[in-house]
Amino acid sequence: MYHVFNKLKSKLTGFKDKISSKIDEKAVAIEPEAVADAPQEEPTSSTPVPSAQETVESKVEEAVPVSEPVSEAGSVKNESSGAKKFGFAQKAKALVFEREFILEEDDLEEPLWDLEMALLESDIALSVSEAIVESVKNQLVGTRRRIGSNTGNIVEDALKKAIYDVMSANVFDLDDYVKDADKPVHIVFIGINGTGKTTSIAKLSKRFKDQGMSVVVAAGDTFRAGAIDQLAIHADKIGVKIIKHQEQGDPAAVIYDAIQHAKANNVDVVLSDTAGRMHTNINLMEQLKKVCRVAPPDLIIFVDEAVAGNDAVERAAQFNDAVAINGSILTKTDADSKGGAAISIAYITGKPILFLGMGQGYDDLRKFDPKWFVDQLFAE
């Protein structure tokens, strides 16, 4: 089992348990009355107990809140308390004949507050936490909960859908893209110092080589002493060609040469390293723009480390504003138990997370799949 993000995982389980027991308390309070009044019929094969998914989806269209204005956008507005209320007749019908009750906003207020705190403590950005809480609320409020059905599943499905929705921004498959695009495909990697750009380039070089493609790496980090040698060592170990100039040389010239080399030799992929920089460093940002002019990339990938949490999310947003990234790689997830950056980056930038770095080995790179990630968060 995948052990990273354990802290986030335990917080989500805590929320699920808390809200489930709160709902169960309500069910217990209601049940004697319902049992006493209800016709003595158990659900039969013609009235099957809905699955958790069906229950969540059977939100309240049938049990439309009574005497509430509906906004132009179609969402239900509430004048006073902000909570959805359900008419006596609907409640009575649900309770007596169907042995169900309806979840109301009041039932969820405290657990949802706890959920928001737990998400923030897990380094999930504020706007993302709010979006998740809102989604969970919208899915659960008004759910007709059949007494005796599994509350935990209903809550888990709502959480999974909320997290999946914020993570699955503009998903695209880098392997497929590279396979189908005109060659050479040029990818530039950007980010701040020491987050794992060079290592990620090495990992991707191996990945593409293993897929039968030819790769050249461009030593565009001419700024940091030792960066060229570091990339050269990786290139040598993996068995791919490196194009390099002197330290302090012009990165745009190195990367241009790498592309010319690729064109002349039918190389499939050019992966360009760049010096780590803050988006606030005007000279280095101008240099990056020059690289993009002289040797236009097909894709720009932002690299940052999961352990940086909200700082990584901020930087992703800032780099995206400066040069319009196509996606991100989140490294060092093997050292991060919080998981917030992974959830936030795609939502904040509107660009997908493409890979997770999960260690220092060349194969420690996992293609990011939001569904897999969400399933891991709730795996036993």
Ligand X SMILES: Nc1nc2c(ncn2[C@@H]2O[C@H](COP(=O)(O)OP(=O)(O)OP(=O)(O)O)[C@@H](O)[C@H]2O)c(=O)[nH]1
Work out how close the CB of 86 gets to ligand X at its nearest, in angstroms, rounded to a whole number.
50
Q: Which is nearer to ligand X, 135 or 287 (CB)?
A: 287
CA distance 357 to 330: 6
Quote helix, strand, coil % in the chain, to nearest 5.
50, 10, 35
For ligand X, give the closer residue by CB, 151 or 199.
199
DSSP helix/strand/coil, 366: strand
Phi/psi at 41 (5° precision): -130, 130
**In the complex, least distance from residue 335 CB atom to ligand X, rounded to whole angstroms:** 5
Residue 272 phi, psi dihedral angles, 5° rounding = -105, 120
Three-state secondary-structure class, residue 367: strand
Is the separation of the CB atoms in 351 and 327 below 8 Å? yes
CB atoms within 10 A of CB 212: 8
DSSP characters over 97-142: HH-EEE--HHHHHHHHHHHHHHHHHTT--HHHHHHHHHHHHHHHTT
Rounded-to-integer distance, Cα 304 and Cα 316, Å: 8
Distances (CA, A) of 205 to 18, 268, 365: 46, 11, 11
The nearer residue to ligand X, 156 or 304, going by C-beta atoms, is: 304
Query: Between 121 and 334, whose beta carbon lies closer to ligand X?
Result: 334
Taking the complex as a whole, how short is the minimal distance between the CB of residue 196 and ligand X, in angstroms? 3
What is the Cα–Cα distance from 213 to 129, expressed in whole angstroms? 40
Residue 59 Cβ vs ligand X, minimum distance, rounded to whole Å: 41
In the bound state, the residue with its beta carbon closest to ligand X is: 357
Q: Which two tokens stand for residue 361?
A: 């080995």
Minimum CB distance to ligand X smaller for 191 or for 327: 191
To the nearest whole angstrom, how small is the minimum distance from the Cβ of residue 171 to ligand X?
A: 21
How many angstroms separate the CA atoms of 343 and 328, rounded? Answer: 12
Cα distance between residue 380 and residue 378, in whole Å: 6
Q: Which amino acid is at 202?
A: A
CA distances from 62 to 65, 71, 86, 94, 219 (A): 9, 18, 11, 11, 62
What is residue 357's three-state secondary structure? strand
Number of Cβ within a 10 Å radius of residue 47: 11
Least distance to ligand X, CB of residue 296, Å: 22
Instruction: Choose between 265 and 360: whose C-beta lies nearer to ligand X.
Output: 360
Residues 304 and 315 sit within 8 Å (Cβ to Cβ): yes
If the CB atoms of residues 185 and 190 are measured against ligand X, the closer one turns out to be 190
At its nearest, how many Å lie between ligand X and the CB of residue 189?
Answer: 8
Feature table: binding site: 191-198, 273-277, 331-334
What is the smallest separation between the CB atom of 358 and ligand X, expressed in angstroms? 6
In the complex with ligand X, the residue whose CB is nearer, 143 or 331, is 331
Annotated binding-site residue numbers for GTP: 191-198, 273-277, 331-334
Binding residues for ligand X, per CB under 6 A?
Answer: 191, 193-199, 221, 224, 227, 276, 331-332, 334-335, 357-360, 364
